[in-house]
């Protein structure tokens, strides 16, 4: 069920909130052993809250979202509930406060069922780097779910939860959404509060909703947007009703097709993308060829900036302030070394080493920032002639889980420029290759989430790809 279905079901008393949550928790218990999409499941509290919601609903003392279940990526701090960030370093970390977005969903009455699996510290594209094991793809257990928000994407796709919150530093909402066949929105940098989200790369990280449909993402955005004084990068916007915009006509809008990204597409992805383009043209959209020339340098710039910021952000895991603690170390150095050697996984250590190197070779970091600025300027220029840009989210279907994909960074090429420029982008499902979902990415100018949702929703009104569910479960 989508969030919209659940709201209707609860309102028309087709099921109680307790029945719904109990049903989902049972299903999660059975399914999680196959998919490994949850790290922590909050059985007791979820059922207690469900009872409370049913009680309040009897007296009409609720808004319509009261009792709607959700789960969040395990890097949102949740007061009293383990928050591991997919790492051994934080495997016993219980935050003493809620991140702002958790406060907002709780305030709206949603029930957080648990914390979803992810690549350690959000570093990865396939969800193979979690201390808690890989996440599998419900469409085919031999395939990866995509990362780093793979637990969320897998759980939604398997219908264990209707929606989730993820984060996207270089594609981590969009890529798993594409591999698992769901809708995932990365918002503009500064649009949502990052307060209480465990940082990977602070100038790139941004949160966003993941769900079956664009409409559900709009419902979640209504709740989680709005200014937060605890995050100085959070832009001071008034909250808006994003549902207001989604049905507007998109006739006459101009879509840019970046030639560089369409040149080397695999034939399967190319066919499916062309079909999606045909749907848009039937809706009265005009297409213009555009150029995003910094495609190769974008990868280098992204990995230099992201690793450098990660090396700095992760220095706090020293065994004193945070992190894995070795009892009775003889020296302070022994404490640091043991904590960081045992607490971090291989991928995270690689990034810390790379980042430390890049920060020491300061000309590399400065060059990367210059490339970032060029990418940003190019987007700003392009958006003077087009309303939005579309490109595939990825060029290949999800990979086999058995293969180790060490730092296979080339495939991030489709998603990272958006983060370097701080733009909003959404993944929507547009078809299948060998029973494996494929997604399309839509990008719009900064802080035009309403337009992005509008264009994506119009596509979903005329297609059914977002309504397919895997039958493996």
**Considering 87, 145, 148, 417, which one is annotated as catalytic?**
148
Q: What percentage of the chain's residues is helix, strand, coil (to nearest 5)?
A: 45, 15, 40
Closest approach of Cβ 390 to ligand GLN, in Å?
A: 20
Cα separation values, 64 from 19, 226, 334, Å: 17, 20, 54
Nearer to ligand GLN, 174 or 450 (CB): 174
Between 172 and 183, whose beta carbon lies closer to ligand GLN?
172
Smallest gap from residue 166 Cβ to ligand GLN (A): 9
Minimal distance, residue 107 CB to ligand GLN, in Å: 27
CB nearer ligand GLN, residue 148 or residue 395: 148
Q: Residue 31 or 206: which CB sits closer to ligand GLN? A: 206
| Residue linked to tokens 């001071």 | 236
CB of 177 to ligand GLN, least distance (A): 12
Bridge partner residues of 443 (DSSP): 389, 425
Nearer to ligand GLN, 49 or 417 (CB): 417
The 280-309 site mask, x for binding ligand GLN (CB under 6 A), equals --------------------------x---
Tell me which DSSP letter residue 135 carries.
P
Element (H, E) at 156: helix 150-157
118 near 148, Cβ under 8 Å?
Answer: yes
- Closest to ligand GLN by CB, 166 vs 323, is 166
Binding piece for ligand GLN, criterion CB under 6 A, among 118-126, 190-198, 237-245, 329-337: 118-126
CB of 170 to ligand GLN, least distance (A): 3
Residue whose CB is less far from ligand GLN, 69 or 176:
176
Q: Rule CB under 6 A: is residue 418 a binding residue for ligand GLN? A: no
Both structure tokens of 402? 């058995």
Q: Is 73 known to be catalytic?
A: yes
Instruction: Report the b/e string of 188-217 with b at 16+ CB within 10 A.
Output: bbbbbbbbbbbbbbebbbbbbbbbbbbbbb
Residue 277 sits at the vertex; the CA angle it makes with 276 and 282, to the nearest 5 degrees, is 100
CB of 394 to ligand GLN, least distance (A): 11
Report how many residues bind ligand GLN under the rule CB under 6 A.
Answer: 13
Positive or negative, the CA dihedral 94, 98, 102, 103 is positive
Q: Choosing from 172, 199, 201, 225, which is the catalytic residue?
A: 172
d(CA 444, CA 465): 22
Nearest approach, Cβ of residue 201 and ligand GLN (Å):
7
Determine contact, residues 152/135, Cβ cutoff 8 Å.
Answer: no
Residue whose CB is less far from ligand GLN, 49 or 395 = 395
Question: Judged by CB under 6 A, which stretch of 117-125, 207-215, 270-278, 450-458 contacts ligand GLN?
Answer: 117-125
DSSP 36-99: --EEEE-HHHHHHHHHHHHHHHHTT-S-TTTT-EEEEETTB-BTTB---TT-STTTT---SS--
Catalytic-residue membership of 178:
no
| Subset of 387-416 contacting ligand GLN (CB under 6 A) | 412
Q: Which of 35, 71, 113, 123 binds ligand GLN (CB under 6 A)?
A: 123
Which residue in the set 114, 124, 138, 256 belongs to the binding site for ligand GLN (CB under 6 A)? 124
CB 101 within 8 A of CB 76: yes
Cβ atoms within 10 Å of 458's Cβ, excluding its own? 23
Backbone angles phi, psi at 19, to 5 degrees: -60, -45
Min dist. Cβ of residue 205 to ligand GLN (A): 7
- The least CB distance from residue 50 to ligand GLN, in Å, is 32
Please, are residues 121 and 83 in contact by the beta-carbon 8 Å criterion? no
- Answer for which of 112, 125, 183, 234 binds ligand GLN (CB under 6 A) is 125
Interface residues for ligand GLN in 193-212 (CB under 6 A)? 200
Toward ligand GLN, which CB reaches closer, 125 or 394?
125
* Residue the block writes with tokens 């995050």: 231
Distance CA 95, CA 99 (A): 9
Q: Are 78 and 113 within 8 A, CB to CB?
A: no
Residue 125 among the catalytic residues: no
The first and second tokens of residue 267, run together, are 């034939």
* Segment 131 to 190, residues that bind ligand GLN, using CB under 6 A: 148, 168-172
Say which of 73, 136, 186, 215 is annotated catalytic.
73
For the chain, the C-alpha Rg in angstroms (whole number) is 21
Task: Kindly indicate which of the ranges 123-131, 156-164, 218-226, 433-441 contains the residues binding ligand GLN, using the contact rule CB under 6 A.
Answer: 123-131
Binding-site ranges for ligand GLN (CB under 6 A): 122-125, 148, 168-172, 200, 306, 412
Catalytic sites, residue numbers: 73, 148, 172
């Amino acid at each position: 069920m989508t969030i919209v279905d659940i709201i209707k079901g609860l309102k028309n008393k087709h099921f109680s909130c307790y029945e719904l949550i109990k049903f989902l928790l049972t299903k999660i218990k059975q399914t999680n052993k196959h998919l490994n999409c949850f790290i922590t499941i909050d059985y007791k509290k979820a059922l207690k809250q469900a009872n409370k919601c049913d009680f309040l609903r009897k007296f009409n003392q609720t808004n319509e979202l009261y009792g709607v279940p959700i789960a969040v990526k395990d890097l949102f701090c949740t007061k009293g509930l383990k928050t591991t960030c997919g790492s051994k370093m934080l495997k016993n970390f219980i935050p003493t406060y809620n991140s702002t977005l958790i406060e907002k969903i709780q305030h709206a009455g949603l029930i957080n069922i648990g914390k979803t699996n992810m690549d350690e510290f959000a570093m990865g594209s396939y969800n193979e780097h979690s201390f808690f094991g890989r996440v599998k793809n419900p469409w085919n257990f031999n395939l990866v779910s995509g990362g780093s928000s793979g637990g969320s994407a897998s759980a939604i796709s398997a219908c264990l939860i209707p929606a989730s919150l993820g984060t996207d530093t270089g594609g981590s909402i969009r890529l798993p959404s594409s591999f698992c066949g769901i809708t995932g929105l990365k918002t503009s940098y500064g649009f949502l509060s990052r307060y209480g989200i465990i940082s990977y790369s602070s100038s790139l990280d941004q949160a966003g909703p993941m769900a079956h449909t664009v409409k559900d993402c709009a419902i979640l955005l209504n709740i989680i947007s709005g200014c937060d004084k605890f995050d100085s990068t959070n832009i001071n916007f008034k909250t808006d009703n994003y549902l207001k915009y989604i049905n507007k006509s998109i006739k006459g809008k101009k879509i840019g097709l970046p030639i560089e990204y369409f040149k080397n597409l695999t034939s399967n992805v190319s066919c499916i993308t062309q079909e999606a383009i045909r749907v848009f043209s039937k809706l009265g959209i005009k297409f213009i060829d555009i150029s995003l020339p910094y495609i190769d340098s974008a990868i280098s710039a992204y990995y230099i900036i992201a690793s450098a910021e990660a090396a700095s952000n992760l220095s706090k895991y020293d065994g004193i302030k945070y992190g894995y603690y070795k009892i009775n170390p003889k020296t302070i150095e022994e404490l640091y070394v043991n904590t960081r050697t045992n607490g971090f996984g291989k991928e995270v250590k690689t990034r810390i080493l790379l980042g430390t190197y890049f920060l020491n070779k300061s000309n590399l970091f400065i060059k990367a920032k210059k490339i970032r600025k060029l990418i940003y300027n190019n987007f700003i220029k392009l958006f003077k002639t087009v309303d939005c840009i579309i490109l595939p989210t990825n060029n290949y279907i999800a990979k086999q889980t058995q293969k180790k994909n060490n730092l296979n960074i080339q495939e991030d090429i489709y998603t990272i420029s958006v983060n370097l420029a701080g733009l909003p982008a959404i993944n929507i499902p547009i078809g299948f290759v060998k029973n494996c979902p494929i997604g399309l990415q839509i990008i719009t100018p900064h802080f035009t989430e309403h337009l992005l949702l509008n264009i994506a929703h119009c596509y979903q009104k005329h297609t059914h790809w977002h309504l397919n569910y895997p039958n493996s479960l």
